[in-house]
Structure 1
Amino acid sequence: MRYDAHETLAAPARPSANPLRLAAGVVLVVLFFLPLAFAYAGVVPSALGYDGAAALTEGRTPLAVLILLFQFTFLILALGMVLRLVHQRGLASLIGPAGTATNQFLRCTRYLLPLYLLLTVMPMPPEYQLSPNLSPGNWVLWLPLALACVLIQTGAEEMVFRGYLQSQLAARFRSPLVWIGLPSALFGLFHYSPLLAGPNAWALILWAGLFGVTAADLTARTGTLGPALALHFTNNVFAILVTAPAGNLDGIALYTFPLALEEEGLAWYVLPIEILFTLCAWLTARIALRR
């Protein structure tokens, strides 16, 4: 593995690579983000006709999904404040050279789209058949805003886990086991959701952790967030906007499919498929970057 390019992201973090400073930064990101998110959840939903934040949690309407995704804007704002206060660096230093990152994002997205489309049209077992959700015309009307909000959500997560945590740890520790492994493990725990997945919550952690490793690897190989963001963005576009599990953030999806995430034993059926497809998507991005 050649991770020389990752120095582009690690170098700006080196002057403030003290682990205690990173720990303080993580705490401050949380402390800055939570009040902003709670204020947003307390004001915006009711202003738009929702009876409190609880009415949004399932994301059963297009507007509800957009409100939920847009709140990640405050995570970016919190991260930006912490970078300036604690590390004396800006958000752009988490992304890498803008032109290179954009080109790599577009190239990887162009290769990943056919792969995800193939997965969407593959024959499914009768119990998982797709059902129409939004009408195509209505879906197209919502699509520009939806794509922007998915980009905000995935961009925020990539900047925190692959941009901030990974670069700061790489500036202090030489081993990728630390600066890839630790952020990926935290990314997995970030997706822990026992209320949503019940006994299968552990499978979400494993899958998200593996996804984090693949995104971290792409970041280290290229020295930008472009490829990792392309992988994350394409995955979430198809998981939220194209085909979504019925009853779970499905308000803006073109199609839904029946999938009870809390069903006993479901993880043993779904997890191997998700792992295999994640590895295929990672390899596809690797091929795109060699072209």
Structure 2
Amino acid sequence: MSVWSFDYRPHRRFVSPAEAKPQIWRLCFGLVLGAGLFLVLSQLIFGSLFRVMTPATVEAILADGQTGQTTAGMLIVLLQLGLLTVSAGLVAFMVHKRSPITLIGDLTQARRQFVVVTLAMVLLTAVLWILPPWDFGDPIQRNMATGRWLLLLPVALIAVLIQTSAEEILFRGYIQQQLAAKFKSPLVWMVLPAVLFGLGHYMPSSAGSNAWTIALWATVFGVLMADLTARSGTLGPAMAVHFVNNVSALVLVSVPDEMSGLALFVLPFGLGDEAQMAAWLPVDFVMILVSWLVARLAIRA
């Protein structure tokens, strides 16, 4: 089958568990309930941890968690987002009367597709690092000693996997499934979750005039991940692309002003450097398109 095929028959199997309770009011209620559960779980977990810490330590951790510029702050950001998985699973069970596992699809197939696409993405990333250009206009800067980075690497990979899986389970799992159970048009179940995903990446205080460009980039990324999910019938490929992409952006080379607490290197410019960021966003956009094509090729194997 061609890499350009838009045969979405596997998506029907992926969506079928949502068809028993497809009402839009359930989806809306589920999103509100999920947001509430996320906040309650965050408060319970982090509130319990903070109670055994000194006020000064709590204040420092909360400050770090705003930007992710330290290791502790970055881990807090990533692991807290992982609670989206728990809240989405609870909503699926309580509101839609279905197993949380159905948000991922067939687990055996999802696992196999995740491994295949991850290997393909790692190979692509290695090739992109080898090929010119070898910098971003100026040399990238070391952010962390190699020895410390290697010690943190297993924890960093697990944290990024938790974060990216949670986002895929919420947007391409829960929201996409429930919309597709009610609406047949991809313009609804593919685009609407992607728009919500893009709005979550709108950061005018950090990105300035590039904020809408970054939000648009995230929206297109969401559409491409929705396509991979519909094409494969599981969240495996989307999770893999999202995981490797975020490892590249958060663990290998990050921006210096935000989300750099786990990165080995940082870029020579930050989100606030509007001109330089604007010049490189199209390159990043092309890399995402290439990643999508590589993932489509991988799931044909």
Q: Same fold (TM over 0.5)?
A: yes
Provide, for residues 30-67 of structure 1, a one-character-per-residue CA deviation record: whole Å limited to 9, x for no partner. 11112322454555468393425123222222222112
CA distance in 1, matches of 2:70, 2:282: 31
> Residue 66 of structure 1: which of 75, 82, 90 is its match?
75
Report what 2:176 is aligned to: 166
| Stretch moving more, 162-171 or 69-78 | 69-78
CA distance in 2, matches of 1:233, 1:57: 22
> Residue 122 of structure 2: which of 110, 113, 129 is its match?
113
> Residue 123 of structure 1: which of 124, 130, 133 is its match?
133
Report what 2:59 is aligned to: 51
Shift in Å at residue 249 of structure 1?
A: 1.2
Q: For the structure 1 residues 124 and 42, does the alpha-carbon distance in structure 2 shift closer, same or farther, using more than 3 Å as the test?
A: farther
Report what 2:238 is aligned to: 228
Task: List gaps (5 residues or longer) in structure 2.
Answer: 1-5
Give the percent of matched residue pairs that are identical in Structure 1 and Structure 2. Answer: 42
| Stretch moving more, 67-76 or 44-53 | 44-53
CA distance in 2, matches of 1:158, 1:169: 15
Which one-letter code corresponds to 2:42 in the other structure? A
CA distance in 1, matches of 2:113, 2:223: 18
Report what 1:202 is aligned to: 212
Q: For the structure 1 residues 241 and 193, does the alpha-carbon distance in structure 2 shift closer, same or farther, using more than 3 Å as the test?
A: same
1:95 aligns with 2:104: yes
Paired residues of 1:45 and 1:51 also in contact (CA < 8 A): no
Provide, for residues 74-104 of structure 1, a one-character-per-residue CA deviation record: whole Å limited to 9, x for no partner. 2212112111111011221011111110110
Which one-letter code corresponds to 1:187 in the other structure? F
Shift in Å at residue 128 of structure 1?
A: 3.6
Which one-letter code corresponds to 1:67 in the other structure? I
Shift in Å at residue 264 of structure 1?
A: 3.5
Which one-letter code corresponds to 1:105 in the other structure? F
Task: List gaps (5 residues or longer) in structure 1.
Answer: none
Paired residues of 2:14 and 2:177 also in contact (CA < 8 A): yes
Matches within 5 A, 1:131-280: 131-266=141-276, 268-280=278-290
TM-score if structure 1 supplies the norm length?
Answer: 0.94
Paired residues of 1:13 and 1:168 also in contact (CA < 8 A): yes
TM-score if structure 2 supplies the norm length?
Answer: 0.91
1:19 aligns with 2:24: yes
Which one-letter code corresponds to 1:161 in the other structure? F
Shift in Å at residue 119 of structure 1?
A: 3.0
Aligned pair count reads: 291
Report what 2:3 is aligned to: none
Which one-letter code corresponds to 1:91 in the other structure? P
CA distance in 2, matches of 1:211, 1:169: 18
Paired residues of 1:214 and 1:282 also in contact (CA < 8 A): yes
Query: How large is the Cα RMSD of the aligned pairs?
Result: 1.8
Shift in Å at residue 262 of structure 1?
A: 2.6
| Stretch moving more, 37-46 or 123-132 | 37-46
* SS of alignment partner, residue 129 of structure 1: coil
Report what 1:76 is aligned to: 85
